[in-house]
Structure 1
Amino acid sequence: MSPFLARIDAYEKLIRLDKPIGILLLLWPTLWALWLARRGVPDPTVLWIFIFGTVLMRSAGCAINDWADRKFDAHVERTKNRPLAAGRIAPWEALAVAAVLSLAAFLMVLKLNALTIKLSVVAFALAAIYPFTKRFFAMPQAWLGVAFGFGIPMAFAAHWHVVPPLAWALLAANVLWTIAYDTEYAMVDRDDDVKLGIKTSALLFGKYDVIAVMTCYTLFIVAMLAIGLWAGFGPFYSAGLLAAAIIAGYHYRLIRTRSREGCFKAFLHNNWIGAAIFAGIVADTWQRSSS
């Protein structure tokens, strides 16, 4: 591989374009909110701004995360080959990539209303601070849930010019979901995190980690059911939630032995929970619009 292509490959891995699960877990709640806010298909311009903005901000967040964790990642089996930890790129390059991507996302948001622009600044701050919460906050997964879900109030603001209580309820539900799936993720690195002194929900929950994950899934599904009733959604939405609940129940089989492979598979599998709920929202809004 030529030096130029090797550098491009390193940048691609820095922002995890080779691992799109993070984009999907960030995108699904945003899509839920866009359809809920519009009670149907959102404005195409707004939709594409949020989709591309999600990709850009997740990529920027990965670069910031790797810069913040550059001294830890080299000592963790799963992350030791990341470009920054392996020395394939310099720390300043990661910051430069994050800055360029963040600026590109912000320029896109400038096409939206003033409230959405202000919320985008908060979203950036949440994403930038998150990597450092692992040093002092016992449950950084909760912070991640807010950061990953902040597209929700932004989506409502983009359509309504205000953020209604329904949006904040959806954000709270997303925090529960994030704690569930990111605890599964943290269970993969538990031994390494203990050695490095990093704080995670997997360490906080200890021997009750599996129970905690399943409890968060349960509360998340119940919260989403309440949100659906609040928003006036019907059987198709409920069917999507039922599918999501079945998928979450399957995760118990994957994580109950706490094997690294099972926990990581469960984490990746959360894409289907997000997709099932989104399918229910789309089907229900289509059914109401056509009736």
Structure 2
Amino acid sequence: MTSDAAHQPGRSQQDVFSEPEQAADRQRMRLAHTTAASSLSVRPSGAEVWGWQGRTLSRRAGAAGWLRLVCAPEAKRGGRLWEGTALADTALPRSVPRPRLHGVRDWIAGGLAYRAELTEYIALPAVTTGSPVLDRDVQLPDSWWADLRSALATLASVPTDRESVRQQWIDRNFRRFLGIDPLRITALTTGHADLHWANLTAPALVLFDWENWGRLPVGYDAGLLHAYSLSVPGTAARIRHEFADILDTPDGRAGELVALAQLLQACNKGVHPRLAPLIAGRAEHLTNAPVPRPAP
């Protein structure tokens, strides 16, 4: 899909984006990746890139490909995350900059389901590597921001019945993570659902990781990217400026709160400990109410 350095998924302090702890699982995933490469007639090369808790394994494949392998228990195969990349390739306009999909292979072995996706190799670097969190002022040009706005506006026009964020999650979790009553979300749009700095390239814009795209609250994508930028006030201010027409509306603030609540859920599991107080502070600014702090 991209270069080895560019497409490292985000890592927490607990290194949840890493190879599996068990040697047998590492060997199994590597063997399955090799099997997929053979089936798709490509040769893997370069560094391994492991996903969330070793669920995925990716490597460069051939001269122009990126081979990603995902594994799940057989009973949990299929569904939104499993099919997202393939559906994005057919449903989204080509004007949304993303890697093109070249081939897919599915199989089951030993009670586990595997999906291999061969996508276009993108040589452009991601804005951040190793973490979705911005840790420096990147000074992106005006044209880059215009392209991001255009891509998200085009994506918003795509009809889909995929649900990236459900009202049921909001109803269960808003009081726990935000300390407020759940909001009833009425303004929905089609979005990326994982808009962070390791999924965006520069100086030209490409969006990676279309696993979870679908219907979500207006303001969610911009709010999520803003949250991942809170440790760099200049960039955070630029996002608020570029997306003021969304974030400065009641619907946009509601969508941003959903993004903040989901990040606070992750922070409660130990992810992004340095960002957690900034996310909580942003939520308190929007709600004028104290936010339960993640356990240290």
Q: So what's the TM-score if we normalise by structure 1?
A: 0.27
Q: So what's the TM-score if we normalise by structure 2?
A: 0.26
Bigger share in strand = 2
